[in-house]
Amino acid sequence: MLCALIMAGGKGERFWPLSTDEKPKQFLRLLGEKTMIQMTVERLMPLIPADRIFVVTGKRYVELVKDQLPNLPQSNIIVEPVGRNTAPCITLSAFYIKRQYNDAAIVVLPSDHLIVDENRFRSTIAFGYDFIINSSDGIVTLGIKPDRPETGYGYIQFSVYNSQSTIDDEAAVTEEDFSTFKVERFVEKPDADTAKRYVQGGNFLWNGGMFIWKCSTILKLTERYLNNTYSILKGVFEEKNENFSSLLEKKYPQVDNISVDYGIMERAENIYVVPSDFGWDDIGTWYAVERYREKDQDNNICIGDIKSLESSNNIVYSKDKPIVVVGLDDVFVVESDDIIFVGKKEDIERIKEIKIRINKH
């Protein structure tokens, strides 16, 4: 049985001031009429029914999840008392899902990514699920075929041989077929020259943070590599229902504050990757929005009530008020409830730093 776990606790600080601690980017309409989390759930529905889709999020976002996903059972909203990175978040969710579906496998997905070819995406997940069901404690990750030497993503290096073939048979991945390859290592975000070498090498994929595994597998690995987290959460889930919430609130701050990549993926051995090509993007900054939003004749992205005169190559987002831009090039303007932010596009990558500096004054 396949379930989905959508991680929706991030703050999306690179979209400030539109994305805030109270309403981060997964709850915003950055690419169209649907929010990012709505798009994530809807693309899963033809493959996984709503009663097997789970969302893990922080306490402050529970009402946003309920409001934006009214068809999701409220019992499928898993609440972290405090943020402790992805490893404990995933372990908490695995215990929770296993309690409802003992034999479940889980596809773990971020809540704020773009997928262009949704049919191909679902077929890739189905292939990975079949592989996991027939694998003994294996993990599948979906690695994105790179189309540029990107320095903003982590990478996955894989063996040049197909994991389902003999060592002498070279793997061939085609548009019609899927293949799995043994993961050699996960690599942190590289510099530009290293990223170029990765893309030219042909055996590196972008790490999109998407995994498929059995509940039992991820719990075994957590017990082995993050025993403190495992022991704390195992004890919580052995508690009677009436005491569960209060005990989780008390104990959860004591789990390890570590990502699943560092805590488990870089230490586990039985990991495979499916090279994937379904039009993926992280939507990590305004530059990603620029790649997918429709542009006017002067190459401007205008979202909301915008008037642009003698201006080009700008990003302008209006929430409520009309915005007029005259004689400006290569700038971004973002209106939120509390602030209007105007800056050069070349500073988009510095938004998180700018937010910190502004908040200090």
| DSSP per-residue codes, 184-241 | EEEEPPP-HHHHHHHHHHSSEEEEEEEEEEEHHHHHHHHHHH-HHHHHHHHHHHTS-H
CATH number of 2-281: 3.90.550.10
Give the whole-angstrom CA distance, residue 361 versus residue 347. 19
Tokens of 115: 């997928």
Burial of 19 (0-12, 13-18, 19+ CB in 10 A): buried
Least trusted range by pLDDT, from 7-11, 216-220, 262-266, 292-296:
7-11
Name beta bridge partners: 141. 211, 273
Half-sphere exposure of 347 toward its Cβ, with a 13 Å CA cutoff? 13
For the chain, what are the domain ranges? 2-281, 294-359
4 pLDDT higher than 90: yes
Q: What is the pLDDT of residue 13?
A: 81
Contact 333, 317 (CB under 8 A): yes
Work out the mean pLDDT of the chain and round it to a whole number. Answer: 90
The pLDDT value recorded for residue 357 is 86
Residue 127 C-alpha from the chain's centroid: 20
| CA-based nearest residue to 210, from 144, 258, 150 | 144
Whole-model pTM? 0.89
- 143-167 in b/e form (b: 16+ CB < 10 A) is bbebeebbeebbbbbbeeebbeeee
| Residue pLDDT, tens place only, 24-59 | 999 999 888 899 999 999 999 999 999 999 999 999
Q: How confident is the model over 206-215, as a mean pLDDT?
A: 95
pLDDT at residue number 162: 52
Q: For residue 271, what are its two tokens?
A: 């990991």
β-strand partners of 144: 206, 276
pLDDT tens digits along 106-142? 999 999 999 999 999 999 999 999 999 988 889 999 9
